[in-house]
Chain A
Amino acid sequence: MYICQICKKNPATIHLTDIHNNVKKEVHLCAGCAAEKGFNMQSAASLPQLLGIKAKKQSTEEPRPNRFAPEEDIICPKCGYRWSDFKNKGRLGCSEDYHAFREKLRPLIANQLSATPIGPGPLHRGKYPGKKSSVDPVTREIRNLELDLRRAVDEERYEDAARIKSELRELRGYAGTPAKAADKTELN
């Protein structure tokens, strides 16, 4: 089991690999040390960014707090866990911590490197307790066919690819989903 390379104590849960001139570098961190380093854990940060070699421009939504300013500790009113405990252990104490520490946790969790940065609203896009999952069978079938198409093209089975494409066209018409730019170019 990898131990966090910074605190040399907690199990690492964030693994980064960078390959440069055929040399593989790995960084393994616990969530606490990643937070300490200002690392956005829901995105793939590059090693230089993580190690602070090159300050990469983050999204413009909020200025980065001055890392060198002495930091105020925060205590969760519900369970007594502190922000410093989190940095120490890489784990939280109770679900209320997400509120108590929200100013610090949110930028860690926000997915800033995606094509569309997530604004101030909800970060969660998945299922809700008690609700059935939202995937309809047509969308699922489209996804499966897209994969089949890719495989057929990779394997140069062009007749199969043409058949899958026409099936896809039909299904997308049914679901009202626009074709992806990617599979337009694939067969050319």
Chain B
Amino acid sequence: MKIDDCLHRDGEWLKGAGPHCAIAVSTRVRLARNLARRRFPTHPDHSDRRKVLDEIKDAFEKTPSGPAFTWYELDGQMPIDRRILMERHLISRELAEGSGPRAVAFDEPESVAVMANEEDHLRMQCLRSGLRLREAFDCVNQLDDDLSGRLAYAFDPVYGYLTSCPTNVGTGLRVSVMLHLPALVMTQHIEKVFRAVYEMRMAVRGFYGEGTEAYGELYQISNQVTCGRTEEDILADMEATIQSVILYEEKARRELAGNAKNRLEDRIWRSWGALKNARLMSSEEAMRHLSSLRLGLVMGMMNKFELRDLQRLFLLSQPAHLQRIKGRELDSDARDAERAEFLRKRLGPEAN
């Protein structure tokens, strides 16, 4: 498979559709599973890894949905190709930057991805645009049912599904929703959200998950508790928390539109100006301006393009995608120049 095939399509999370898509960019649900009688990938002795990969590949290809997936082994691939998969949220940073036998299988809509030999033998995830927790869970849960008949999972009635980090034990379920919260940032209420989310035993993470920065005012909220509760309880709690954060952001947007319309419009059109004129643009700055445009678009203050086109720019202006489109490696300064040019062209005269 050529990674370039991905470049011409929009991943599921980029669709800019689904319930609450003005705020909820995407929903991700993942299950962590390990094979019984095999060392975890985190064990220093890696002699099980190849066998694990083959067992998973074999089982996976026999599931009803298996044949429709692309199986892609990461060992020996170019770093930029691995980075493209990461930017598309198909693999984690850990899998992209790891070593040894490891793989990802994903479907053509780039909605379901199965990572093998990340920190657990199996990590299955389903991505959906908008807020669609149940749908994403049902999808990954079905895949888990299909695989569990073919693979012997490491499971214990007391602890549940056994994972290499005890923070995932039990259900192995991690639910995260990426929210666009510019109005809460502008009105300085975002800290209150962090506090409320923390009290619900949930975590806030940045754009690429675990420990990354919240570029473009995009935040991922996810559950921290995985054990001692049913999957349904975890989903219900998440749904309720996310709904209230969404209401809060909606309220902040209404307030801004009512009391600070000038400030809001100024921000949106300044960002437009910067994207249309700048000669150097870092990926952080690009995301900040694209974030303004996203806000202007969903609030009806700007109608120059579709939400989907805008979401695509978020992705294509990431470092690996940018270099792939250009067709060669670029250092950081060259990337900033290339990014500025790319965005100017994409938002070109016809969008005026």
Q: Give CA–CA (A90, B94) in the complex, Å.
A: 15
> Contact: A1 with B93, CB < 8 Å?
yes
Interface size of B as a range? 35 or more
Residues of B within 8 A of A58 (CB): none
Residues of A within 8 A of B153 (CB): 129
> Contact: A114 with B228, CB < 8 Å?
yes
Q: How far is the CB of A114 from chain B (nearest CB, A)?
A: 7
Residues of A within 8 A of B244 (CB): 150, 154
Our count of residue pairs bridging A and B at CB distance below 8 angstroms stands at: 178
> Contact: A93 with B39, CB < 8 Å?
yes
Q: Give CA–CA (A48, B162) in the complex, Å.
A: 30
* Chain B: CB-nearest residue to A155: B247
Q: Is B70 an interface residue (CB 8 A)?
A: no
Q: Give CA–CA (A18, B141) in the complex, Å.
A: 34
B148: which of A2, A95, A123, A130 is its contact (CB, 8 Å)?
A: A130
Interface centre among A31, A98, A130 (most CB of B within 10 A): A98
Residues of A within 8 A of B94 (CB): 11
Q: Is B125 an interface residue (CB 8 A)?
A: no
Interface centre among A81, A135, A151 (most CB of B within 10 A): A135
The count of residues in chain A whose C-beta lies closer than 8 Å to any C-beta of chain B is: 61
Q: How far is the CB of B202 from chain A (nearest CB, A)?
A: 9
> Contact: B227 with A111, CB < 8 Å?
yes
Q: How far is the CB of B93 from chain A (nearest CB, A)?
A: 6
Task: List residues of chain B with CB under 8 Å of any chain A CB.
Answer: 34, 36, 38-40, 42-45, 93-94, 119, 134, 141, 145, 148-149, 153-162, 164-167, 169-171, 173, 191, 194-195, 198-199, 201, 203-205, 210-212, 224-233, 236, 239-240, 243-244, 247
Residue contacts A-B, CB under 8 angstroms, 6 given: A3-B211, A43-B201, A79-B39, A130-B145, A133-B232, A150-B243
